[in-house]
């Protein structure tokens, strides 16, 4: 029930990076569920991860290995499995994830620390290590620089379609390329909003700039999406810069840096929005924009209060212009000294609330026309300052309940 076009982009080949995919039978037989990404020695690599206290074993190990491997400039392989999250599995989960890293290290001749593991799927079940290790050679044997589409399928769980983004940008007279994939459909909410994302570029970045760019831009993309208000135990986003392009190293003071940064941001936003468009049971893609807030925190908290409201989300699913639900959610936002007389609320360009009540110009048929659309903007003007923040969310349908009720069967 995804919203919008079901098309993958034409991915760019990123020199210095290859992808391999296998069917390990982790949850279902004959389904792509194991992905290996090989990056050239010396690539810059950065990651941002879930802030859930019950973070999965692979997240813990990945963060440790990422720090160590960057220090050695030897991060070499990403190992990704779907069908099992290896979360809530205690010491056994750590041992299982380490064993998978050890096995891939033996297959490729690299140190365990050069393996970055990622898992997604059911929480609380032990990882089928033997199935994964037996399938490593199959994934390694089909490593190729043009396997982005297959890899996008190989990281899916409840996703109804694979997700990807690609772009190019000019820097110092050279063309730089980006390609990326993501997965996620439910248990989506920032702090790192279950989601995985892997983005690569052939640009040359220092480790420091790679990390600072990803941290800043993930906050403006993956940390601006929510489907159900649940933060996963496994969320991870990785940026790889192979440095294989002939362009000079990216520098923050270069005149082409803003264009490079904007292009990377757009790739991350495209991948994040693709997750929302494929939200479990989603029939609507909803933008919630809060303007004229005093600060970033106030704008975001207000936007999320509306985006997380079950009553707002079910009204969206029903295409019901019940604007009172938006008003009620807005009214319980944590805003001190809330002056209702300064507030205006819009559905797309239709003003529904102003000066503390229903807009004099509002007509029910205008609201209905907006709610009948598949893409909707809820715009709130607080009249308190100059800050604007935007989040993206979905409606809440019967299908969402069905998917999550049947998730383990």
Active-site residue list: 194
The distance of Cα 328 from the centroid of its chain, to the nearest Å, equals 29
User: How long a stretch of residues is the chain?
Assistant: 409
CB 105 within 8 A of CB 115: yes
What's the CA gap between 211 and 203, in Å, rounded?
Answer: 14
| Cα–Cα distance measured from residue 315 to residue 203, given in angstroms and rounded to the nearest whole number | 45
Sheet holding 115-122, edge to edge: 17-22, 34-39, 77-84, 115-122
Place of tokens 């079901």: 6
Block residue for tokens 């079940």 = 125
SS3 355: coil
Report yes or no: 395 and 280 within 8 Å, Cβ to Cβ: no
Closest CA to 171 of 269, 245, 266, 270: 245
Stretch (H or E) spanning 18 = strand 17-22
Crossing angle for the helix pair 296-308 and 323-331, to the nearest 10 degrees: 140
CA distance 96 to 124: 13
């Amino acid at each position: 029930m995804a919203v919008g076009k079901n098309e993958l982009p034409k991915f760019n080949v990123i020199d210095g990076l290859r992808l391999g995919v296998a069917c390990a039978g982790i949850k279902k037989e004959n389904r792509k569920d194991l992905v290996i990404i090989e990056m050239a020695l010396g690539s810059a690599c950065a990651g941002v991860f879930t802030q859930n206290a019950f973070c999965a074993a692979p997240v813990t190990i990945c963060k440790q290995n990422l720090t160590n491997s960057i220090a050695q400039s030897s991060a070499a392989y990403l190992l990704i499995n779907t069908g099992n999250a290896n979360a809530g599995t205690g010491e056994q989960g750590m041992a299982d994830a380490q064993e998978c890293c050890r096995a891939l290290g033996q297959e490729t001749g690299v140190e365990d620390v050069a393996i970055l593991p990622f898992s997604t799927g059911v929480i609380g079940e032990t990882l089928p290590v033997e199935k994964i290790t037996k399938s490593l050679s199959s994934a390694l044997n089909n490593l190729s620089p043009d396997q982005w589409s297959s890899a996008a399928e190989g990281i899916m769980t409840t996703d109804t379609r694979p997700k990807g983004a690609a772009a190019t940008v000019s820097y110092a007279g050279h063309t730089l390329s980006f390609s990326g994939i993501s997965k996620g459909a439910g248990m989506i909410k920032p702090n790192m909003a279950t989601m995985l994302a892997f983005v690569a570029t052939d640009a040359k970045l220092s480790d420091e700039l790679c990390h600072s760019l990803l941290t800043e831009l993930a906050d403006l993309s993956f940390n601006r999406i929510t489907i159900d208000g649940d933060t996963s135990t496994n969320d991870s986003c990785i940026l790889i810069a192979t440095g294989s392009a002939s362009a000079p190293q990216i520098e923050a003071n270069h005149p082409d840096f803003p264009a490079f940064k904007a292009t990377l941001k757009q790739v991350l936003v495209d991948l994040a929005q693709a997750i929302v468009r494929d939200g479990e049971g989603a029939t609507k893609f909803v933008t919630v924009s809060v303007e004229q807030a005093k600060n970033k925190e106030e704008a975001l908290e207000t936007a999320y209060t509306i985006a997380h409201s079950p009553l707002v989300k079910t009204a969206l699913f029903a295409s019901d212009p019940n604007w009172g639900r938006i008003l009620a959610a807005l009214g319980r936002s944590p805003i001190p000294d809330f002056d209702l007389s300064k507030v205006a609320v819009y559905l797309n360009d239709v003003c529904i609330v102003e000066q503390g009540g229903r807009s004099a110009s509002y007509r029910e048929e205008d609201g209905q026309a907006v709610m009948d659309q598949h893409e909707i903007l809820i715009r709130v003007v607080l009249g308190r300052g100059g800050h604007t923040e935007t989040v993206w969310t979905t409606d809440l349908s019967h299908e969402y309940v069905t998917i999550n009720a049947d998730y383990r069967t």
